[in-house]
Amino acid sequence: MNVFVTGGAGYIGSICTEELLNAGHQVTVFDNLTEGHRSAVDSRAKFIEGCLRDFALVKQSLRDAKADAIMHFAASALVGESMTDPKKYFHNNMVNALKLADAAVECGVKKFVFSSTCATYGPPDRVPMTEDLPQRPINPYGEAKLMFEKVLIWYREIYKLEFIAFRYFNAAGASEKFGEHHRIETHLIPNVLQVALGQKSHVEIYGTDYPTPDGTCIRDYIHIKDLAQAHILGLQPGKSGFFNLGNGDGYSVKQVIEMCEKITGKKIPAIEKPRRAGDPPKLVAAANKAFNELGWKPQYPKLEDIVATAWAWHKKNPTGYVD
């Protein structure tokens, strides 16, 4: 299958590109490199540097790629920033996504796989979280993703554009070649590992008074290669709708730090700080729908395996990508 991957120079997109190629698909990566890295793009993929705002370029690129499917990862993804610069998030995550969907319809693309988020739910009514929970996002990042989910429903209804939207929980880990290197790093595991590498003096824990066993927030971590396999399964004809992706097991901030200490053999100092506004105590996925309908089964469900692969990549690439 010819797959057109937007944001394929980013963390998730780069490893999904690698796994698509390993599975025998042909891949064209489309990325403007504002957040991604050129050296994170698998050399087997065709690369186009461009922006989704350029509708003519997007259409021509889709036609040149003879795209059967689109995997759309390109987005702004800093929740805190979305609260101070909502315009950026509605333009990048909604308006540009809409242009891509329009181009898909015009170019006869058959399948659209969308990188959504558990942030579309907002604070959950219950945990584990199922796909039928009310969606009440509490930031522009989640709101923009939800808006585009609704676009996809209508485009399927009216234009027959088959879609799958994956609502991620916390992607983590690495492949042997590619890993996590954000210019602004907000994710817990890479920040903890930077302390183990000697690049930071300590890690910060935001809130130790949550109603959880050790007082810190609990999150569901999913290995990036398991995430990629779900996307490949989502290419199957006839598979459509919304799917949570997580392991169904939650780990607290303190448990993640302890696991990083175990894997790295390093002591990781932590400084406790007040809670951040809007952080729910516990976010854990119920991914039974993906298990049952897509045949998805995580191969790396243990936090130990997730951290071990991340550490191996960071040790090999202590400063991340060169570009």
Residues known to be catalytic: 141
Q: Is 179 exposed, middle or buried (0-12, 13-18, 19+ CB in 10 A)?
A: buried
Q: What is the 3-state secondary structure (H, E, C) of 152-200?
A: HHHHHHHHCCEEEEEEECEEECCCCCCCCCCCCCCCHHHHHHHHHCCCC
Residue 178 tokens read as 């590619």
Q: Are 226 and 300 in contact (CB under 8 A)?
A: yes
43 contacts: CB under 8 Å, gap ≥ 6: none
Rounded Cα gap, residues 321 and 299, in angstroms: 26
Q: Are 141 and 79 in contact (CB under 8 A)?
A: yes
Biggest CA pair distance of the chain: 56
CA 14 to chain centre: 11
DSSP state of 275: P
Rounded Cα gap, residues 14 and 19, in angstroms: 9
Identity at 19, one-letter amino acid code: E
